[in-house]
A and B are shown apart, each in its own frame.
Chain A
Amino acid sequence: MSGSQSWSVRIVVTGDGTTKFQPWGVGANPGDPAKAQVGDIISWGNATNQPHQPWPTEGNTQNGNPLASNPPGSPLFFSAPIPPQGSSTPQFPVPASLPPATPNGPTTPLTAGSVIYYCCLNHPAERGQIVIF
């Protein structure tokens, strides 16, 4: 078999009322990181009643603020705003590297073990991760 794979992340309201990212996968729970390889495609499904938008963090850090500028077409443009009960668009292919943190800085290759940290642009407390395997 050849080819990369597709992965789905559900945005859910958990029992304690918090909203979390729940990846599809073997034994995955709300808040778990999604796992993917470079080239795989990830989509998000919003099972809540509020719009959400997964968004990269400043410096790709776990608790960083939402990145100030991330226009469509940027390597980490995960999706346009996802309406309630809607799905993400466009599809997000995991890039080979993270974009430079500074205008002339180096890119950071994504290899096994690398993590892409993201949050919801509308609700920055909602945090997610994509772990490269």
Chain B
Amino acid sequence: MTSRSIARQRCLFVIAILAAVILLQIRPAQAQYTTPCPAGLDLSLTRLPEIVAQDGRLKGTIVLADGPRSQVLQPKASQGPNPPPPTCVPQLRRFYQTQESTGSTNGNGADAPPPTPGPTLRAGLGDIVELTFLNQVDPLDYGDSIDRWENLPAGAAATPGAGCDSVNNGYPKLNATTTDTMPNCFHGSSTGNLHFHGTHTSPMGTADNVFLGIRPSPRPDNGPPTVTGASVKADFDAFFQACEQHLKANNLAEWPLTWGQLGIPNWTASQEAMLKAYDNGKPEQQQLWPVDQHQRDTGAFPQYYIGSFPYCFLLPKYPGTEQPAGAMKMGQAPGTMWYHAHKHGSTALNVSNGMAGALIIEDNSPNGYDGFIKDFYRHHPNGRKLPGQSEPAPNWPILQTTMIVNQIAGIPTLESGAGSQSPFSINGQQTPQVSMHPGEVQLWRIVNASTISGFYLKALPAGFTWRQTAQDGVQFDPPNFRSRAERPVFVAPGNRIDLLVQAPATLPSGSAAVTVAQGHSVSTAQNTPEAKYKILLTVALTGNPTPMPMLPTMPKRPGFLDDIATSEINSKPRSLTFQTAGAASGASQHTIAIDSGPQQKFSEGAPLTIDKLGTIEEWTIYNISNAKVDHPFHIHINPFQVTEVFDPNAPLLDANGQVRFDSKGAPIPLYVFTTPTVKGQCQLDGTRPDTWHPCPATPSPYAAKTNIWWDVFPIPDATTVPSGVPGAGAVVHGYFKMRTRFVDYNGSYVLHCHILAHEDRGMMLQVNLALNPAMAPMQHH
């Protein structure tokens, strides 16, 4: 290939750069700007700093900042047994940290630190979260990216794509006829917020309110930000104190719901002044203060801020412990949750920059998830002493390793996200090394913060013993713990898994690679030949042997996590249908239909409405697109139980859950459209949708008496009936059924695809639960 043709190819690539994100095309590898890594590069897994709750409150500061971060680029396996040393890729990124920004970020990136996630937040059930959020991004480091552009007047001003981030001669135009439009386009990338993924709390006010948008602090004269922790401390301390009083008195209180209730008029006045200053000279469609003003005047909680925001909410204990007594139906499950950016229009970009962190919620009661594990291992400790700690980890007798898996993007700024096959990093490092003592048991809390890819963990290396103890932050019941022992698991974007991992006494080479299949659908990942697996991390055996037993069982789950019985369902069935259309034309569109309604993108004017608290529903969630993508369905606030899964692309599994391959190495499909040739296969009739259901001969883990709880579940991809059989060409949908309780907290929140570029571009619905109809709606979240 000539240099000219290479250049032409790369130019075409750039023009289609967003489509590459959107369509999940595999992008060509390109040379990048790299520098030699600093001497003495430490490839051991980065242990993340923690903000730990004390005295019933999780108090701290999360700073959204930006600056150079340098990712270590490991040589590829194809570079042979003597690969070159790793190189480093410095880039400007936006991220969460605890330190405040002190000046312009324009500068030297030669010795920049790795792109680590935000600090781990560790709290207990019943604690109150009191976080000062500061946005100290320097927006001049990035192209212009605005928050809103709507209420367009008729006429010439109504330019398609106006207000969206744009690329010269490219995005938001997708092809000759299709353009992304506000609010379902990439925009607002320097605006921040926090979504507390997996929490069962209020979606309103200062809680898990993803409609908030906090713009960067002003930086007069190109200097440091004027909004600082010190500048808001007095106001926020006063608010947090009042918030504690309200939420302790009534654990279900959704407070504050207005600026008046915030009770910090100096701060709200400064917000008004800064918003007006920001709006000055901008067209009406772009202005933020009029939105806040309208919301304030109609009794709603304003959504736009500048520089700072006080997050305050309760992590409710189980029903039976609440104030007032008897009011709560669900409660917060303890486990591995996470927090991440959730500004509609920039969620993909910002999370792929690294705006994510772990939120660990502990239940340390004797039969609680954490208390039970701790108690067992207090009798079998690992003997580790970490620097500066009196115990192996804060209050834990075994080592907990928090792993934030992400596809840190090659292009972390505007108009691009992680390439579909961008490699995984953990805590900002590619293929880090985890150290274990021989025989040691560790608790791995794994968050898949990747914006596109899931990973299929078929098994740990030979010699390792492992048990999954929780899914999406909800503990397994003893039967789950037993039945899922050492079973493969697919971790979709947004999913979390907790694993107890026991190292072997010896390893032939002293270390072993944990490999995974990267994919966008469960079946694609399952069907990947092991030769194409990628190294996620390595485990090195170090130190003295520390033989420890594997936890033998789990405590019974709290009663509120019992299965949702059919008799509990008190509303008619509902269906959601996810669709990706137009992929072949380079202008993919991602939409959702409610029941028999039309396919549509996100609009605050077309919510999914649940009339009253206490509604318990069963939904069937379809994927009618055959694009080798399982859209990861996610709903905020309330977890759900999956009761049935139909994946027409599923492979045949053996008794251990492993994929069966034929003599030529090809995976054997579970479903066929002709007479089955392998025992266990099931036949589908392409002309009869009534046959498009799970194979009755196959044992299902989704019909047990202790169903697993999830908050993200990949909707199985559709398939196309092959030629030569009845119904050829028909699209056979995939689906899953779930049950959930809409209880405890009313308000507006969202459900969406957790491939975050799909969400940003409209594959999202607003959920209005028992909402006051007089309240002004949130916009664009």
| Partner-B contacts on A (CB < 8 A) | 1-6, 8, 10, 12, 22, 24-28, 35, 37-39, 41, 43, 45-47, 72-75, 77-78, 82-83, 85-97, 109-111, 133
Contacts and interface: CB of A to CB of B under 8 A. Distances in A.
A109 B170 CA distance: 20
B167 A45 contact: no
A87 B139 CA distance: 7
Contacts of B27: 2-3
A41 B139 contact: no
Interface of B: 3-4, 7-8, 10-11, 13-15, 17, 27-33, 35, 68, 71, 73, 89-92, 104, 106-110, 138-145, 165-170, 222, 281, 409-416, 418-419, 421-423, 430
Contacts of A38: 7, 10-11, 14
Given A24-B109, A38-B7, A91-B415, 8 more contacts: A41-B143, A45-B138, A47-B140, A73-B168, A74-B168, A82-B144, A91-B143, A96-B11
B110 A39 contact: no
B484 to A, nearest CB: 33
A4 B12 CA distance: 13
- Chain A interface, >50% SS class: loop
Contacts of A1: 32, 71, 73, 89, 410, 422-423, 430
Closest 9 CB pairs of A and B: A45-B140, A3-B410, A96-B11, A6-B413, A90-B166, A43-B143, A89-B144, A96-B7, A93-B14
Majority secondary structure, B binding face: loop
A26 B143 contact: no
A78 B170 CA distance: 13
A27 B422 CA distance: 28
A5 B8 CA distance: 17
Given A6-B91, A8-B92, A88 B143 contact: yes
A26 B90 contact: yes
Given A2-B422, A43-B143, A27 B108 contact: yes
Contacts of B32: 1, 3-5, 37
Contacts of B17: 4, 39, 41, 93
B260 to A, nearest CB: 33
B419 A3 contact: yes
B414 A91 contact: yes
Contacts of A87: 139-140, 142-145
A28 B90 CA distance: 13
Given A8-B141, A25-B109, A39 B13 contact: yes
Nearest to B27: A2
A25 B109 CA distance: 6
Contact of A45 (B14, B35, B107, B142): B142
Contacts of A97: 7-8, 11
A85 B138 CA distance: 10
Nearest to B167: A91
B166 A91 contact: yes
B452 to A, nearest CB: 12
Given A8-B92, A90-B168, A41 B415 contact: yes
A41 B414 contact: yes
A89 B8 CA distance: 24
Contacts of B413: 6, 8, 41, 43
A125 to B, nearest CB: 21
Contacts of B415: 6, 41, 91
A27 B68 CA distance: 12
B14 A4 contact: yes
A93 B15 contact: yes
Nearest to B169: A73
Given A38-B11, A93-B167, A6 B29 contact: no
Contact of A95 (B11, B108, B422): B11
A95 to B, nearest CB: 6
B109 A26 contact: yes
B410 A39 contact: no
A41 B21 CA distance: 15
Contacts of B89: 1, 5
B143 A4 contact: no
A90 B143 contact: yes
A5 B31 CA distance: 10
Contacts of A12: 222
Contacts of B104: 10, 47
